[in-house]
Each structure stands twice: as structure tokens, then as C-alpha cells.
Structure 1
Amino acid sequence: MVSRAKETHTTNRVVRVPDADWEEFGQLVGERNRSQLLREFIAWYLRRPKSTLPKRPDARDVQAARNIAES
């Protein structure tokens, strides 16, 4: 069941993501930017006008985030 949102907000959705992946994702995009990046990806996937595929982080940044998560 989907929770009801205020008219000024989008509806909250539940997405299941492994904890380690969610933490690493947050380290790479910023704790408060996950939702925005997911919305950008969805818009691109749905071929919305003027949408672009979000830029992926450099491989070195991904490895650094993994090293932090593992420590």
C-alpha cells in the first residue's frame, strides 16, 4: 500500500535496496541526493523530453566509497 502524500509532495514509495548498496550510494551522491538521482534516472529511462542519463562517478570515487564502507 502506498502512503498518502500532501498535495505539495510526491507520494512516498518503498524500494528495497541492500543496506551496503544504499550506504555506498549515499556516500557517492550525498545522503540527501539519492532521491533526486533516482528521479533523474527514471525520467531518462522513460524517455522524458530533455532528460539525460545521470553521470556516473569516477571508478576511483567508487573504490574510495567502498574502502570507507569496509572500514
Structure 2
Amino acid sequence: MSPNAPKTPARQIRIGDTWYDFDAAAKAMGTERAAVIRELIDWYIREPGAKLPARPDRSVIEAARTQRAKEGQE
């Protein structure tokens, strides 16, 4: 095992373009997608003390979509 190997194996899911919106939202909250997903899973399976993660303002998502649209036109 290499020294940089993650402690858990990667999981693969299909999400679509909202994945990029999710990335922008997580970054706006000072975190990353994986951390938010873990929090959501813990809440969903009712782990003791688990809470829903905070969400960013909707304007963050709208800005991310606008930026992607501009990049797609270039």
C-alpha cells in the first residue's frame, strides 16, 4: 500500500452537471463535496448527533451556472 492511499475506497455515482454546482456550494461553505456527502449520509441513517449540513445562499449556485455557461460559449 502506498503512503498516499486513502483510508477508504473510492465510490462511484452518476450525478450530472449539478455536481459542479455542488462543488461551488461546498467551496462557498469552506468545505468539500465529500465532507458534505458524509454529513448527509450520517444524517440520513440517523447516526447519533448527526445534523444536516448548512447550505449556501442560492446566489452561489446561480453564479456557478452562469460561469459555466460563459465558459461553454468561449
Which category describes the TM-score, using the shorter chain as reference length? Answer: 0.7 to 0.9
Give the RMSD, CA atoms, in angstroms: 1.8
Residue 27 of structure 1 aligns with an amino acid whose one-letter code is A
> TM-score of the superposition, structure 1-length normalised?
0.75
Cα separation, 1, equivalents of 2:60 and 2:20: 14
Structure 1 position 64, deviation (Å): 1.3
Question: Looking at CA atoms only, which structure, 1 or 2, has the larger radius of gyration?
Answer: 2
**Unpaired segments of 5 or more residues in structure 2?**
none
How many equivalent residue pairs? Answer: 63
Deviations 1:35-67 (A, max 9, x none): 111000000001111110111211122211111
What are the superposed Cα offsets for residues 18-45 of structure 1, whole Å, 9 maximum, x if unpaired? 1x21112112213x71111100000000
TM-score (norm 2): 0.72
Unaligned runs of 5+ in 1: 1-5
Determine what percentage of the aligned residue pairs are the same residue: 33
Runs of 4+ in 1 over 3 A off after TM superposition: none
- Which of structures 1 and 2 has the larger relative contact order (alpha carbons within 8 angstroms, sep 6+)? 2
Report the counterpart of residue 64 of structure 2 in structure 1: 65
